[in-house]
Amino acid sequence: MWRQVYAVHMDSSNVQNSNQKLNNKDRRASSATKDRLLRAAADLVVELGWGRVTTRAIAERADLPHGTVSYHFNSKQELLIDAVLRAVEDVFPIAMIRELNSVTELVALIAATLTSCNALDSVETRVLMESMREAGREPLLRKRLADLLSDYRQALEELIRNDQGHSNLKPGLTPSALAMLLSALGDGLLLHLIVDPELDVGEAVKALGSLLGVNLREAPNEPDYPEKG
């Protein structure tokens, strides 16, 4: 009898294991499908503008049936918000900021990003512009962008406070205020570059380093920052 019970138990365990493997496979496939929809939506927001993107166009760009959109997202607005926020997160790399060791490295990172050959043409940069425009009309997008920027400033504030603890910054600077200033400065330089790509932002970043009292020559030429995504 015990053998029969054991056999039944093993058969049940095998079925559960098989179901678990199938569920994991389904989840991976579902995640890949969702990823394709998000990428397609972000690309179309850049190409057409927020208001002209349709769910059918997203499905066609992703090379997926139209029904997959409603299967993974409750509405077109939810899909577009998720898509642009994922792209904007690359413009505000919070995890990367938390890996930095000093404000000197931060300024060097800002310089490297702004002087990158594809800084202006990247999908992420152009999505950021579209999302900022749409945030004035879409409260949920505005709230989620505000939360993202708040987390970004918090990461900057922690870095600044740590640098002050090592006496690497000029005294008397309020970490939260300086974090807000640095965040806005990076965004502002990017906006000016979009309007006038010939601007020498390298010199502007050097001036920022001088104002903060940091020596950019002490920053590593190619910092070992973690990859995005």
Specify whether the backbone of 93 is left (phi greater than 0), alpha (psi in -120 to 50) or beta.
beta
pLDDT, tens digit, 9 for 90 and up, residues 174-212: 999 999 999 998 888 888 888 888 888 888 888 888 888
| Spatial contact of 49 and 130, defined as CB atoms under 8 Å apart | yes
Residue 223 has what pLDDT?
44
Asked if 46 and 128 count as a contact pair (C-beta separation under 8 A), the reply is: no
pLDDT in tens, 136-166: 999 999 999 999 999 999 999 999 999 888 8
With cut-offs at 50, 70 and 90, classify the pLDDT of residue 53.
very high
Mean pLDDT of the chain: 81
* Residue 47 Cα to chain centre, angstroms: 20
CA distance 102 to 158: 10
Its pTM stands at: 0.75
What confidence score (pLDDT) does residue 217 get?
A: 61
pLDDT over 90 percentage in the chain: 44
pLDDT on residue 14: 57
Positions of E strands within 53-210 = none
**Under the phi-then-psi rule, with left for phi > 0, alpha for psi from -120 to 50, and beta for the rest, what region is 115?**
alpha
User: Do the domains 86-218 and 2-73 match in fold?
Assistant: no
Domain 86-218 fold is Tetracycline Repressor; domain 2 (1.10.357)
Phi, psi angles (nearest 5°) of residue 21: -65, -40
* Number of Cβ atoms within 10 Å of the Cβ of 173: 17
At the topology level, CATH places domain 2-73 in Arc Repressor Mutant, subunit A (1.10.10)
Number of Cα atoms under 13 Å in the Cβ half of residue 151: 14
Domain-wise residue ranges, the chain = 2-73, 86-218
> At residue 71, what is the residue type?
Y
- pLDDT tier, 67 (very low <50, low <70, confident <90, very high otherwise): very high
The residue with greater pLDDT, 23 or 61, is 61
Q: How many CB atoms lie within 10 A of CB 84?
A: 27
